[in-house]
Chains A and B, each alone.
Chain A
Amino acid sequence: MSEIKNSYDRIAMNAAQKSALKTTLYKNFPQYADDDKGRAEVIIMNKENNISVNNSDGAKIKSRKRAGSIVAAAAALVIAGSMGARIAQVKMAGMQDEYKKMAESGNNEDVLNGNDTDEVTAAEDVDSSDDYNEWKELPDPYNDERDAQYIFASAEMLLEKFTEQGLTVSTDTVSSREVEFYDHKYGDLHTDFTSDGVISSDEFLRSLYDENDIAASLGDYDSYAVFEVQFEGTDKAEKVAKVTVAESFTGEMKRFECTENPDIEPVEVPDVIGLTYDEAVKKLNEAGFENINMVHMAGGDIDAPYDTIVRQSAESGSKKLTSQNITLFVYKEVETVYETTIMLPIPGGAFGEFAVECYQGDERIGSFDADQEQTIIDGAPVLNYDGKIDLSKYAGSHAGLVIKSNGKQEITVRIKDPEISDSEIEYCTFEVDFEEQTAEMKGDVNTDGLIALCKKHDKMMHSFDADKPLIVLPDDAAAGDVLTAYRDGNAEYEKTLEDGDIDGSDLFTPDMQISDDAKYTIRLKSAETGEERDIGELGSDFYRSIIKEKQIGLDFPVSIDKDLQDHPVTFAAVSGDNIISIKKYNTLEDVNSVVMDINGNNEEWVEIRVYSPEAGTYIKYGDFDVDFNESVVTLIDGLNTEELNDMLRNIPQVDDVILG
């Protein structure tokens, strides 16, 4: 341990180094010099905006790719120093102003207000260093976020100075290698940024000082590159400035070399303070500025008429390139907005791509895209992007929709095929309390409308697996009989029944494809007699979807006399005209209860029927009131156990037939 301490102990700055450091500090912060040492020269700006920097006595300001405001500003000075004299003067003046501002107030305020400032705290069980325990939280200027702000501010200043001079950032990559470009904001590493690639102004600004900046990326392999900027909101790269980025690792400074672009004339920015946003945009557009952003400002100390521009990012009278982004600050109270997720039921079997949108009155407050899934809540993907949603992904389940608003609102979900006009339907309505994070569905879900929509656009054909036609075979149906489905007189489906098809139940599900809006006549041809007869019709109602908002296990007891337990039976859960669940038993031996998974929406009346293929009939076993939302099942009037036993008891026995 002492070896380590001793070895460290020898590491120290020598007197010359300390002296040079102090000199630098005296120059920049004379107010903190001791009285007898506060006479050092600082950077001076004269009336003509010329700047003199006296480095002869060892003052040292170095350029860094990534540093705080001071370093960045210093870098700008270095950059400016490498330019032509006229440009350099202006840049340096501007930089010095900004540098002073940052050092004195603006960025320090940012620092102090930073959210993720590391805190110097002491652990609870520290038994010494009382001072340490009581230290207050202090900002950390090298925090990443604040660094980014500094970097951005400095880089922005740099570009502004370029543009004021009619300079540009050009585009040819004068190197043999692709440039890696790191987007600090989104954390993406762009690896294909080549000579024909584009870069937004925002990206460019950040890149100038980012840790993986252009120069750093070039550094390992290339000596320099030249870039051209395509500003956001424009469709082609503009030669707004030409900057050669160079980095010399043999030296200590990063250098930006600029050349003027005579083709571009900056335009004078009009004064829009006091105007409404629309008026301001119009005025700026007339002047040629098209990239305009708005920021709401709120607070009681704004001395300006409500809903007017109180600040503009580009000063009026200054000259800017028309491709420059201009931000307008509008005095407007900002409402608190809450985000909540509503769970939208999607019919089982639905498919096809549709736009799903949420409306609060006439205002669209959310739309969703299945391809941009973000998170999963309760097994449902939550969507929050524009675009279309493929219903098949959520069929029989839910899609989570993220919406933002405040207060209690009635939110209407509309579904449409954006490619076809007049296709929009109102699908369902929620009563949403955004602050309480509750959403309650009001009224019915417009399943019919959605189905009609799907059918109309030929999206839903053959899709309702859960609702394939269910045919009740006649009592005398037998293996070898031929079941045929006719559509417009043409046989579209034919099936010779097998033992398995009629064993245990008279319910038969043909594996047939049903076209929308078609009606089928179902006929059965007896293998024994050759006679064919109608046994029913199938229509679109057969594959009407059931909203499967929730699944419940419907559990009920079964009590069959022991001598009747060998008979096959089929339990069917029926809601309205739809059979929503089936459970077949070849024997009821040791079956004391039946659990049927049923899907439904809100509150439904579910009837349980028990079919006996041997008896060729069914009985109503019981009625249940099912609240799918609350997962509550209420049995109405008891179970018809006796009737069930009677049905099985009265099945004609083979012996009876013979004797009869």
Chain B
Amino acid sequence: MVYSIDEVVDRYADHIYRAAYAYLGGSGDAEDVVSDVLMKYFSMCEMLDIESDEHLKAWLLRVTINRCKDILKSARWKRTEVLTDTHKADFGWSERELDVQKALGSLSEKYRAVVYLYYYEEYKTEEIAGILGLPKGTVVSRLDRARKQLRELLADYGEEMSV
């Protein structure tokens, strides 16, 4: 199954962008990741045996995260500013949502990926394991640790925000 550019961009660009944004802890590089990943997809889409929309989405997310890993390894990334308040205006976050994003951004990337896929994309832990190439147990433990860290980071919100 091969999709047109419009279909792919309209359906999945935001997912890729969000995943990249989540994994990279917030940065302008997320847009470049979308470009890279979709260029990659169309360069090889006829060789891929995509079976469904969900299949494609999972593939794109996995590729996105691997691309993000590459970026995080690069020296250039280390010089990049992450998550500034300017995004507040970009995305219309409330103070509270910004705090949540800051908390998410302060997690290590391995936790960020799991949290994003679980809470936003609503994948099951088994599916996350498949996408990230991790054992299910690792996904579960990362999710658990991420929750604990988020609880601590967002302790000021107390009962209002359950993680």
Give the interface of A toward B (CB within 8 A): 1, 3-13, 17-18, 21-22, 24-26, 28-29, 32-34, 37, 60, 62, 64-71, 102-103, 108, 111-112, 118-123, 125-126, 128-129, 131-132, 134-136, 138-143, 147, 211-212, 216-217, 219-220, 247, 249
Would A132 and B58 be within 8 Å (CB), given that A4-B119, A12-B18, A123-B136 are in contact? yes
Cross-chain contact A22 with B48 (CB below 8 angstroms): no
Residue B101 CB within 8 A of the other chain:
yes
Cross-chain contact B47 with A121 (CB below 8 angstroms): no
Report A384 CB to chain B, min CB distance, Å.
Answer: 33
List the B side residues contacting A66 at CB < 8 Å.
70, 73-74
Cross-chain contact A131 with B55 (CB below 8 angstroms): yes
Main secondary structure of the interface of B (DSSP, over half): helix
Report B121 CB to chain A, min CB distance, Å.
Answer: 9
Interface magnitude class on chain B: 35 or more
Cross-chain contact B42 with A112 (CB below 8 angstroms): no
Cross-chain contact A211 with B73 (CB below 8 angstroms): yes
List the A side residues contacting B48 at CB < 8 Å.
138-139
List the A side residues contacting B36 at CB < 8 Å.
64, 67-68, 70-71
List the A side residues contacting B113 at CB < 8 Å.
none
Residue B148 CB within 8 A of the other chain:
no
List the B side residues contacting A11 at CB < 8 Å.
14, 17-18, 21-22, 91
Cross-chain contact B124 with A126 (CB below 8 angstroms): yes
Give the interface of B toward A (CB within 8 A): 2-6, 9-10, 13-14, 17-18, 21-22, 31-32, 34-36, 38-40, 42-45, 47-52, 54-55, 58-59, 62-63, 66-67, 69-70, 73-76, 78-79, 91-93, 96-98, 100-101, 104, 115-116, 119-120, 124, 126-127, 129-131, 133, 136, 150, 161-163
Cross-chain contact B97 with A10 (CB below 8 angstroms): yes
Identify 22 residue pairs between A and B in the complex whose beta-carbon atoms are under 8 Å apart, listed by A's number.
Answer: A1-B163, A4-B115, A5-B119, A7-B104, A10-B91, A25-B9, A25-B42, A29-B42, A37-B6, A65-B75, A66-B70, A71-B39, A103-B44, A120-B55, A120-B131, A123-B130, A126-B126, A135-B52, A139-B47, A141-B44, A142-B67, A216-B76
Cross-chain contact A120 with B96 (CB below 8 angstroms): no
List the B side residues contacting A136 at CB < 8 Å.
49, 51
Cα distance, A18 to B158, chains bound together (Å): 38
List the B side residues contacting A142 at CB < 8 Å.
40, 63, 66-67, 69-70
Most buried by B among A32, A65, A126, A212: A32
Cross-chain contact A219 with B76 (CB below 8 angstroms): yes
Cross-chain contact B136 with A25 (CB below 8 angstroms): no
Cross-chain contact B14 with A12 (CB below 8 angstroms): yes
Cross-chain contact A129 with B54 (CB below 8 angstroms): yes
List the A side residues contacting B92 at CB < 8 Å.
10
6 nearest A-B pairs in the assembled complex, by CB-CB distance? A123-B126, A142-B66, A216-B75, A7-B97, A10-B91, A29-B42
List the B residue with the shortest CB-CB distance to A128. B124
